Amino acid sequence: SVMDLTRLAVDAGQLINRAVQYTGEALGQAERTEFNSGLEELLARAESTKTWSDQIISQTEVLLQPNPGARLEDRLYEHLDWSAPPRPRTHEVLGDHMTQAGLEMGPNTPYGTALVRCGEAQKQIGEAERKFVQSTNIHFLTPLRTFTEGEYRVIQDERRMLLNKRLDLDIAKTRLRKAHEAEAEARAEMELRICQSLFDRQAEITRLLLEGLSTTHTNHMRSLMDFVEGQACYYAQCHQHAQELQKQLGFNQVPPTANPLSGTEKATTGSSVELPPPDQTNTNNNNNTSSNKSQAPSWSSENNGQVSQPLSTKCSSDALPTAVIQAA
């Protein structure tokens, strides 16, 4: 219709005027209206939030799935709105291999039994990792993507509209400066007032929208705490499974593979040389020496890796042997 053609011509002329104004500003040949400092700071804050959120999302995806091919496949399924097929975790694959190897080696042999138990522990760790990945996707990555793919796009639309209103305002200012006749000047002043009103209204809308970033940051902070809590729970489960596996395998009771003193003992036993009886004085000195050495902190498996107290603080002089007290 005629109205549609007229509207299309007006829009085309407005688009051309904006392009000319924007080009003149880029070349330094036209003046531009600057946003107030508060609005500029909010716009920069939104841009920074978007940039860092994208980087955090990308790196978290690498953490959850180091294989780039698997990440690309998951992203393809996501864009197609298809459910991705279940993919075993690396610990689960290792657990399957260990279990199969243990069954083949013989489940009744010590090595075969150890392999089977290690395989079960690896599967449990893989299951804990799977739950951690699911929790991170739901409670951490989804809120970040909600901002980058939803809220930020609304901000971009309002920002683009604000830029157009600003260009229209600068075009109206230029027309007013170039108007020489009274009628043209009055028309330019009327257009300037309208453009100024539209620009102020759009600037206020954009400012109110950008002030919502404080709420967005609060929500992201909550999501970050959920991520840390899930990560702590995941590592605690892995530690528990590893501790239980150590107990099942009798980690602290494994005999040494070789005794370096066995040959010396045999040689000493078979020798005809008789050693003199130990000197009581040397024995007392050795006791003093060992008593002094025992004051150094030692690691104990019963205190969870904490440094034990020196023996000098545990023992008093009344509890020491009589020979040691007399030698001192």
> What are the chain's domains?
49-247 (1.20.1270.60)
CB-based contacts of 69: which residues, under 8 Å, 6+ apart? none
**Cβ(3)–Cβ(143) below 8 Å:** no
**Cβ(165)–Cβ(198) below 8 Å:** yes
Q: Above 90 in pLDDT, residue 310?
A: no
pLDDT of residue 322: 39
pLDDT of residue 288: 45
159: closest CA among 27, 46, 50, 18? 46
Q: Within 10 Å of residue 117's Cβ, how many Cβ atoms?
A: 17
Q: Above 70 in pLDDT, residue 4?
A: no
Distance CA(139)–CA(219), nearest Å, equals: 11
Q: What is the mean pLDDT of residues 34-50?
A: 94
Tokens of 191: 């257009």
CB-based contacts of 327: which residues, under 8 Å, 6+ apart? 281, 284, 285, 287, 288
Q: What is the largest CA-CA distance in the chain?
A: 133
> 12-21, 33-42, 249-258, 277-286 — which one is most confidently predicted on average?
33-42
pLDDT of residue 27: 82
Distance CA(39)–CA(183), nearest Å, equals: 36
Mean pLDDT value across the chain: 79
Q: What is the mean pLDDT of residues 113-132?
A: 95
pLDDT of residue 131: 95
Distance CA(85)–CA(320), nearest Å, equals: 69
pLDDT of residue 112: 93
pLDDT of residue 60: 96
CB-based contacts of 299: which residues, under 8 Å, 6+ apart? 305, 307, 308
Does 28 or 141 have the greater pLDDT score? Answer: 141
Q: Above 60 in pLDDT, residue 175?
A: yes
The share of the chain scoring above pLDDT 70, in percent, equals 73
pLDDT of residue 169: 92
Q: Above 60 in pLDDT, residue 327?
A: no
